[in-house]
Chains A and B, each alone.
Chain A
Amino acid sequence: MTTTDQGLLSSPVDAIDADEQRRARAARTERIAKWALPVIMMVLVIAAWAWVVRANEIPHYILPGPDRVWGSLRDDWAMLIDAAYLTGRITLLALLLAVVGGAGLAIVFNQSKLLELSFYPYAVILQVTPVVSIAPLIFIYVDSKVAGMLLCAWLVAFFPVLSSTTLGLNSVDHNLRDLFRIYGATRWQRLRYLQLPSALPYFLGGLKIAGGLSLIGAVVAELVAGTGGIGSGLAFRIQEAGYRLNIARMFAALSLVAAMGVFIFAALSIFSHLLLRKWHESALKRDG
């Protein structure tokens, strides 16, 4: 190897100019700040909260300090985790049904224009009518509390899956559609090999929204349904603790609901990333 070659090889290492250094530093800072800043914010808010409660001597039945909420979380853990288990089960079941129902309807509508024209407007009406106002009716006609709650949660959650999957099924590259025609693809082959993969990113976007909505649906359904002998979910525990002026437990239960929502969102985001990382723009890391 000649000296010139060595010069060429080693020069990039020395050639990081001030601009590049700044860019690298900024990227490093952002990586840390992305996690550190929210954590610092949380600590600050909790500290401020504790201070406000102590300084103003606010009674715990109006606003408990963070220490009391933590205490409630610890002491009532067994009860709260049971409640979380129940709410979580309804949420996940409703999400599952929303996926099956929403994606299934989207495929049916896509295959039959007649069915789409007949039923799509009613799917929209179901979606725009607030679930809180339908829920009492549902519990009149549906005997099983679990079934009623599932129905409520499903009503809220299925529409984003339906509408985004429908959009996806119709967003096929028109040249690819022509290609499938030229190669004599059957309707089933077109659906299986072309439309479903094209719709996947759209479906996953709808799924992320449906995850949050099914939790909302489950909580609303619980509030409307009451207990009725099927055990008590988190929403019911919040309501009950409110009646007893046990504000600390309300906060504790609320934090579990929030944690559940975050968990569902994170899990669905990871799921979506795993499915798309090989090929879809949304999952690609840009170089440089």
Chain B
Amino acid sequence: MPTLLPLGQRPPLLRMNHVDKVFNGNIVALRDMTLDVNQGDFISLLGPSGCGKSTALRVIADLLHPTRGKVEWEGAHGLGDLGVVFQEPTLMPWATVAQNVWLPYRLRGNSYSSVRDEVRESLRLVGLENFLDAYPRELSGGMKMRVSIARAMVTNPRLILMDEPFAALDEITRHKLNNDLLKLKAKIGCTVIFVTHSVFESVFLSDRIIVMAARPGRVLREVQVDAPYPRDEDFRTSAGYAAHTRAASEALKEAMGEPA
């Protein structure tokens, strides 16, 4: 299991450098966003709707080109460096679970037999090794999301982007997936940027919460959660968790334009 360096000692992974994104020439979705992402960070982008958190994610994924500024990766940046999980599981309904997880490799020209072990291992990590040949419609919402996560992890990416992945799930499933996500992250040692509008989720998962405000979308401040990993159910009821939740809530209130 890769060791996680403390905040402040982690080597840089990428930098969003003074990024602006303007839609249609007048809608400012993102203004002057600078964010240094370090290796091993679990960053939550937290904010009200319209604060540009999804836009920031799409700029990092190179799905949107910034109007000004740029995203600078540390070192060479290739196709397998990025995994993405959307709010919906976004699986191909005509393909089996294994074929869905194979997709990132398949698009790079790798045959299934050459990456069978990686596909199986990734599905084993999310607890779905017995569902290789199932079709997505046979799975529950939580299981579909697990397949989506397995697909994002299968190439061992340096960075995984998650856009409110658990927002549509019930709370019990969401807690379970939050716990499992932390275990997975610790196991493969990747970096995660996680968009959410849930204070509780952001505190439980991340060590850096970037609180964003809307109109125009911008970074308001960073709240650091210095509680050590691994975190489990006990953390949810701890005093530290409550204190961090209060700090994040207050920052969020400020982002919403209310007095803190």
Contact = CB atoms under 8 A, between A and B. Distances in A.
Interface of A: 173, 175-176, 178-185, 189, 193-194, 197, 200, 278-281, 284
B82 interface: yes
Interface of B: 58, 61-63, 79, 82, 84, 86, 88, 90, 92-95, 103-104, 106-108, 135-137
Contact of A175 (B88, B103, B135, B137): B88
Contact of B92 (A176, A181, A182, A284): A176
A197 to B, nearest CB: 4
B63 A183 contact: no
B94 to A, nearest CB: 4
Most chain B beta-carbon neighbours within 10 Å: one of A175, A179, A281: A179
A206 B19 CA distance: 47
A182 B103 contact: no
Given A278-B135, A279-B94, A279-B137, A182 B61 contact: yes
10 closest pairs, A vs B, by CB?
Answer: A175-B90, A197-B94, A183-B107, A184-B79, A175-B86, A185-B107, A279-B93, A279-B94, A183-B104, A279-B135
B247 to A, nearest CB: 33
Contacts of B95: 197
Chain A interface helix/strand/loop/mixed: helix
Contact of A181 (B63, B88, B94): B63
Contacts of A278: 94, 135
B164 to A, nearest CB: 12
B90 A176 contact: yes
B63 A182 contact: yes
A179 B106 CA distance: 13
B149 to A, nearest CB: 13
Interface of B is mostly: loop
Contacts of A194: 92
Contacts of B94: 197, 200, 278-280
B137 A189 contact: no
Nearest to B109: A189
A193 B135 contact: no
A141 B232 CA distance: 80
Contacts of A185: 107
B90 A284 contact: no
A184 B107 CA distance: 7
12 contacts: A179-B90, A182-B61, A183-B79, A183-B103, A184-B107, A193-B92, A193-B107, A194-B92, A200-B94, A279-B93, A279-B137, A280-B94
B108 A183 contact: yes
Contacts of A173: 90
A178 B93 CA distance: 16
B257 to A, nearest CB: 31
A163 B6 CA distance: 58
B103 to A, nearest CB: 7
B107 A280 contact: no
Counting chain A CB atoms within 10 Å of each CB, which of B58, B94, B103, B137 scores highest? Answer: B94
A278 B61 CA distance: 33
A178 B85 CA distance: 11
A179 to B, nearest CB: 6
B47 to A, nearest CB: 21
B169 to A, nearest CB: 17
Contacts of A175: 86, 88, 90
Nearest to B90: A175
